[in-house]
Amino acid sequence: MESLFLLSGDYPDMAKGEIFSLFGLKKAKSAGRLLIADLDAALLKNQLKRLALSKSVFRLLFECDVSDIGKSMKGFEWNSIYKDNFCIRVHYLDDIDNNPLKSTNKKIQKSKKSGGSPLASISEKNLAKYVWSSVNKPRVELENPKTSIELFIAKNKAYCGLMIHENREDFGPRKAHLRPFSHPSSLHPKLSRALVNLTGIRENESLLDPFCGTGGFLIEAGLMGIKVLGYDISKSMANGCKENLKYFKIKNYKIAVKNALSIDGKFDYVVTDLPYGLNSNVYLGYNQKTLKNKSNKISLKTGKNQIKNIGQFYLKFLKKLRKLLGKKAVIIFPSYVNYRNLLKQSKFKIEKEFSIYVHRSLSRKIVRIR
């Protein structure tokens, strides 16, 4: 089935990567915040609820030049998709007043004043007439339509879709400060879910986070039916992670106090946010030489040796991970380390990489490796 994804405005490149990973895509077509792909209907239905960075998903009904919208609307067999009632919405995806998703109304008014254009005839009222005149027992329902039709206009092309999924996942209650055990450095749960999905892991497979902290990745993975395993060198963190998993009613998990450099075994999938605070107790716990100097207070601006040391620690971990990893890992690095060089030394291949902004002096690099 040819499917149309409306991507979230947050991290659009990562949203595409999430879709490619979840559905095992080899190719797809992009048009701004739209992604179009031919997908197996059963796989699509099974994985839809896992999406974090897509706002909604549609069955693609047709695509055409803007000038041919009327012709395409008139020629489509609307009875084939109509159920009980309908609503039609129009969105203009190109940049209007720096708004990436806006109704065409303003654009239409400008077009009329400038002598008209194909856009001048594109209104929800005008387009609804095509559906109304074609279906049996037509009825408009604006609030909760059984047949939700949406038309997206991007770069002089129009894409018409029948909505099959609207992402209503409420990530708010899972934000770090609302969990029973919290830590200010935790990622937003929406981003955590997207990173788990970037691995391509399936339900009932196992995921390891060797620096699990409060369990942000494990919570999202567990809620998607994935078996989760977490280690942390801090006993309080490990206990807090267990508390959070229990709070969100996740049962299939194992949490232990363990040094990430001493992990044994094989793990198909790994997702982790490497400890990056240069004065972090977690980092000090791994670096025995630095641990002797408990008064260490070097800042990012002056701590070149600390940056070098944390890079050496990352390299040790990555070499350990190389022995443990069966399939794929998604790792978050601070931007101030040469992660590409570290991965090369560890004999990993980078498949995808993304950047996220944290604050003025720090961004983070998200890298999928195998």
From-to residues of CATH 3.40.50.150 in the chain? 172-369
Q: In the predicted model, is pLDDT for residue 281 greater than 80? A: no
Across 180-184, 194-198, 315-319, 324-328, least confident range:
180-184
Q: What is the spatial distance between Cα 264 and Cα 274, in angstroms, rounded to a whole number? A: 18
Q: In the predicted model, is pLDDT for residue 155 greater than 50? A: yes
> What is the reported pLDDT for 295?
36
Across 208-222, 223-237, 295-309, least confident range:
295-309
From-to residues of CATH 3.30.2130.30 in the chain? 2-166
Q: Among 41-45, 105-109, 225-229, name the most confident range.
A: 225-229
Judged by DSSP in three states, 352 sits in: strand
> What is the reported pLDDT for 120?
52
DSSP code at position 261? G
Across 64-68, 127-131, 279-283, 298-302, least confident range:
298-302
Token pair in block for residue 285: 């716990």
Q: What is the spatial distance between Cα 175 and Cα 191, in angstroms, rounded to a whole number? A: 11
- Within 10 angstroms of residue 352's Cβ, the number of other Cβ atoms is 17
Q: In the predicted model, is pLDDT for residue 261 greater than 90? A: yes
Q: Which residues of 187-207 are buried (b: 16+ CB within 10 A; e: fewer)?
A: bbbbbbbbbbbbbbbbeeebb
> What is the reported pLDDT for 307?
66
> What is the reported pLDDT for 108?
39
| 18 and 47 Cβ atoms separated by less than 8 Å | no
Mean pLDDT over all residues of the chain?
87
Check if CATH label 2.40.30.10 holds for domain 172-369. no
- Between helix 216-223 and helix 189-198 the angle, nearest 10°, is 70
Residue-wise pLDDT for 196-212, tens only, equals 999 999 999 999 999 99
Residue-wise pLDDT for 96-108, tens only, equals 433 334 444 444 3
**Helix residue spans in the chain (DSSP H):** 12-23, 41-47, 69-75, 105-113, 124-132, 189-198, 216-223, 235-247, 281-286, 288-291, 304-324, 339-345
**Can you point out the beta strands (E) in 167-211?**
206-209
| Rounded mean pLDDT, 83-88 | 97
| Domain 2-166, CATH class in plain words | alpha beta
Token pair in block for residue 161: 């879709």
